[in-house]
Amino acid sequence: MYEDLIEAIVNMRPKEAMDIARGLIARGEDPIRILESCREAVETVGDRFQKGEYFLPELMMAGNMLSNISTVVKPKLVGSSERKKHGKVLIGTVKGDIHDIGKNIVSFLLDANGFEVLDIGIDVQPEIFVERIREFEPEVVGLSGLLTLAYDTMKETVAAIEEAGLRGQVKIMIGGGQMNEKIREYAGADAYGKDAMAAVVLAKQWMGIE
C-alpha cells in the first residue's frame, strides 16, 4: 500500500491518496513511514517540476495532499504535544526557492519528536534568517531548498549568519532534493540531511538526546 500511496500522490489523485493513508492508519502502520512515503512522492513531483513536466498547480496539489494526510497522521504520533521540548529549531526555504513540501515534513517530524520549531516560510532572505535567529534563539537552523539556485543562497545565508556574529551559537543543516555533502561543504553548513528523519537524528545528536 505504500507504493500505491506514492503512486497516487505523484499522479495527482488526492482522494485515492487520502483513502490509502486512512487505510494504512487503520491497519496500525507506522505513521512516520506513511509520512516518509509522502516525502518520497513529493520529491518525485519536485523532480518533474524541475524537468518541466509538472508546473505550479501540481506542486500546490501535492502540498495540499501532504497537508491533508498530515492532519490525519499527526494524532497517531502519541503524546507529541505533551513531551518536554528538547530545544529550538528554526527552519526556512532559502531566497529564490518557493518549495516547502520537504520543509513542511521536516518541521512536522521535528515537532513530533519534541522540538520547538519555528518555520519562517519560503523565499527567505539571508537577513530574515539573521533577524529570526536573534529573536527565537534556536540551537539548530535548517536551510531548505529544492532548486540548484539554492546552492548560492544557502552559502549567502550561512555567510550572513557568520557576519552577524551568530554562527557560533547555532548548528546549521541543509536539505532538499538537489542537496548533498558537496553542497554542504560549499555552503559552509555543519551537516546535510538526506531526508526528514535524518534531520531529526541530526537535531537529536546536536542536543545530546539519545
100 or 204: whose pLDDT is higher?
Answer: 204
Split at pLDDT 50, 70, 90, the class of 210 is low
Residue 190 sits in a domain whose CATH number is: 3.40.50.280
pLDDT at residue 144 tops 80: yes
Q: Which of these three, 61, 76, 91, is where a domain ends? A: 76
* 79 has pLDDT over 60: no
pLDDT digits (tens, 9 = 90+) for 3-29: 999 999 999 999 999 999 999 999 999
Residue 80 reports pLDDT greater than 70? no
Return the SS3 of 39.
helix
Show Cβ contacts of residue 104 under 8 Å, excluding neighbours closer than 6 positions: 63, 66, 67, 70, 119
**Claim to verify: residue 71 and residue 104 sit in the same structural domain:** no
Taking the C-alpha atoms of residue 184 and residue 114, their distance in angstroms, rounded to an integer, is 26
173 and 188 in a single domain? The answer is: yes
Residue-by-residue DSSP string for 185-196? HHHT-SEE-SSH
- Residue 44's closest CA among 1, 94, 8? 8
Instruction: Read off the pLDDT of residues 52-77 as tens digits, 9 standing for 90 and up.
Output: 999 878 877 887 898 889 888 878 87
Predicted pLDDT of residue 53: 94
pLDDT at 84 over 60: no
Bridge partners of 57, per DSSP, are: none
The alpha carbon of 6 is separated from its chain's Cα centroid by a whole number of angstroms, namely 18
Mean pLDDT estimate for the chain: 89
- pLDDT for res 38: 87
Last residue of a domain, one of 18, 47, 76: 76
Least confident window among 69-73, 75-79, 102-106, 143-147: 75-79
Q: Which of 139, 136, 97, 95 is nearest to 119 (CA)?
A: 136
Given pLDDT bands bounded at 50, 70 and 90, which one contains residue 82?
very low
pLDDT, residue 57, reads 87
Please check the confidence at residue 158 and state whether its pLDDT lies above 60.
yes
Provide the whole-model pTM: 0.70
87 dihedral zone (left: phi>0; alpha: psi -120 to 50; beta): left
Q: Which of 76, 105, 132 is the endpoint of a domain? A: 76
Range of the domain at 124: 82-207
The SS3 assignment for 159 reads helix
Q: Is 148 helix (H, G, I), strand (E, B) or coil?
A: coil
Residue-wise pLDDT tens digits, 113-127: 789 999 999 999 999
What percent of the chain has a predicted confidence (pLDDT) above 90?
57
Residues 6+ apart with CB under 8 A from 182: none
- Which residue type does 132 have? R
Count of domains forming the chain: 2
C-alpha cell recorded at residue 6: 506514492
- Here the CATH number for the domain that contains residue 31 is 1.10.1240.10
